[in-house]
Amino acid sequence: MRGLLDTSVFIAGEQGRALAAERLPDEAAISVVTLAELELGVHMAADESVRAGRIRTLRAVQTTYVALPVDGDVASAFAALVAAARRAGRRAKVQDAWIAATARAHDVPVYTQDDDFDALAVDVVRV
């Protein structure tokens, strides 16, 4: 694995936002948190057409990528990343901190369209 894809990569496709696909790694995985965020989007869809699109995205992600679990190494990385951010006076979103921790534990960068990872000491590739 050469990178961890953030949820924003898949939402970009759903919403038709431009994605620098040439910057994506040849080998990628996701965090289980990304699955949870995508499934939450299904549950929160305002109408059936939006829900159907989100279900398609969720199913495609589930069948294409390995979802890395939260384990002891990821939990330790989470604690270290969040503590460092707080000591620096920065706040990180909890879901993003878990995704960043997964990347840190597996020693790979996070591929994202968001600036949410700026508060966290993790390698980021903007796509």
Dihedral sign, Cα of residue 28, residue 33, residue 37, residue 42: positive
Segment-wise mean pLDDT, segments of 10 residues, the chain, 127 residues: 96 92 96 99 97 97 98 99 97 97 99 95 97
Flag whether 85 is in a domain. yes
Judge whether 86 lies within some domain: yes
Give the model's pLDDT for residue 115.
94
Q: How far apart are CA 127 and CA 114, in angstroms?
A: 9
In total, how many domains does the chain have?
Answer: 1
Look at residue 10 and tell me if it is in a domain: yes
Q: The domain containing residue 64 runs over which residues?
A: 3-116
This prediction has a pTM of 0.95
Q: Answer yes or no: is 118 a known binding residue.
A: no
Of the candidates 35, 6, 30, the one whose C-alpha atom is nearest the C-alpha of residue 125 is 6
Residue 121 lies in a domain: no
The answer to whether 26 is annotated as binding is: no
Q: Which residues contact 52 (CB under 8 A, 6 or more apart)?
A: none
Q: At 54, which CATH number? A: 3.40.50.1010
Distance CA 120, CA 97 (A): 7
73 assigned to some structural domain: yes
